[in-house]
Structure formats: C-alpha cells, structure tokens
Structure 1
Amino acid sequence: MRIDMSRWLISIAVLPLIACSPAQDDGRKFVSGDVAVHEVFWAVDHNTPYPFTTSGEISCVYYPEFGTEVYFEPAGYSRDSSIGTPLNKAAAESLNKDGLIPNVPYSIKESTDLSEAIEVGLKLCE
C-alpha cells in the first residue's frame, strides 16, 4: 500500500483551518450568563433594596432580534424547562412573541426598583 505523503500533509494542515473557522457570523451571536443573588449580600454591592422575595439568579440572554433579555429565576428553578420572570422590556417582548409565560413563582416585590437588577443582567452579557 502506497501513501501519498503530500496529500496526507495537506489534509493535516487544512484540518485546523476548517475546525477553527467561525460557524456563524457575528450578527447572529448568542451570549448568555447568570449570577446568584441573595438578600443578605445584595446591600454590599447595590444601593437599592433587594427587589425579590427569595434568593435566586439573574440571567441574561442576547439575541439580535430583541437585544439583551434579563430574567430572574428563584433558587431551585434554574432548569431548561423553566421560564424566568422577565425583568426588562426585551425579555417581555421575546416571551410575548413566542407565546410563552413565566412558569416560576412570581418573586418580585411590589413597587420595587428593578433598575439595579436589570443592570446586573445587562453586564453579564457585555
């Protein structure tokens, strides 16, 4: 059996180029992140009162169509099948477009300022 060494070397040299090529353009980039939040630790880094009724996590998802979506999910509900409470307009519009509703316990305190919670989520996806 004869091996054509030049073809073999070319194949090996081209493989990393193909493997490292981007699979999609930057216009369709998906970014996500999450951070745990708890009432006891909130006051250390934030000026507003803790806006949720329980501990949990703030998460973000970026899709070009709506922008950065920010959600809150109570502790114990961070699963693939859970739909968190939308904290910003982009998240609410995205859920509305897809006909989805949050399926986690509603955990936002009444008449609360969500600006810092939203800011935390937006920073996650930067």
Structure 2
Amino acid sequence: MVPDQIYIGSCTHSRIEDLRVVGKILRTNTVRINTLISPGSHSIFQQAENEGLIKIFLDAGCKIIYPGCNACFGGSIGLLGKGMSGLTTTNRNFEGRMGGDETTNVYLASPATAAASAISGFISDPGVNQ
C-alpha cells in the first residue's frame, strides 16, 4: 500500500525517544512520500533541535510542523482529502479523524514503521530499511 502522506507526531509517538528512532532511520536517506513531523511539545522540539534531529528530518525532505494538535484530529496542517490514504503514528483512525470521507484510509504505525515507509514509498518493515 502506498500512502499519500505520512504523519509522525501528535501527543502519541512524538516523545524525544520516538524522534530519535525516526532520526536513526532517516539519517542518510530521503523520503519519497510527503512526510510531516510534529514534536510532542515545544520542549521536545528544542531538544530534538539541540540533538541535530530537526536537521536530519529537514535534510531527508520532511516538513516540520509546530507541536500540538494538528492533522491527527482533523485540525489544520496535514489533513487528508477524499480518496487519499495516510500512515500515521497517532492513536486513532476512525472515519473523518484526519479529514476526507469514507473513501479516505488512515493506517496506524509505529514511528519506526512510519520512517521506513517514508523512505521506501510504501508501508514497510523498519528492519528492512535500516
């Protein structure tokens, strides 16, 4: 399955430990899918920046969005349109949660699976892409 977008973040799976896992996988790679990363809080963003993770994400082609409630609840940045599919590290995927309609598919994944999938261009096992 080829997702149209990958979203790593929200209050779930955006701790500094999660971002370190993503950084390790993305370190020398480029994403093939629109990938949004939202650290869990401003302090996590600052820590990720201090550790060089934000630079790794940007160099890999990811977009960094502000910490807080975003696409995961249908808020603003990163909404999916009708018929689109998304892979997300959030904790819910009921209809309309991230935008779209009944033709929109949202798949839940770990940060490692999301990062590996961003590199491969399809839902992937993180053990294969590391």
TM-score relative to the length of structure 1: 0.27
Greater share of strand: 1
Which has more radius of gyration?
Answer: 1
TM-score relative to the length of structure 2: 0.27
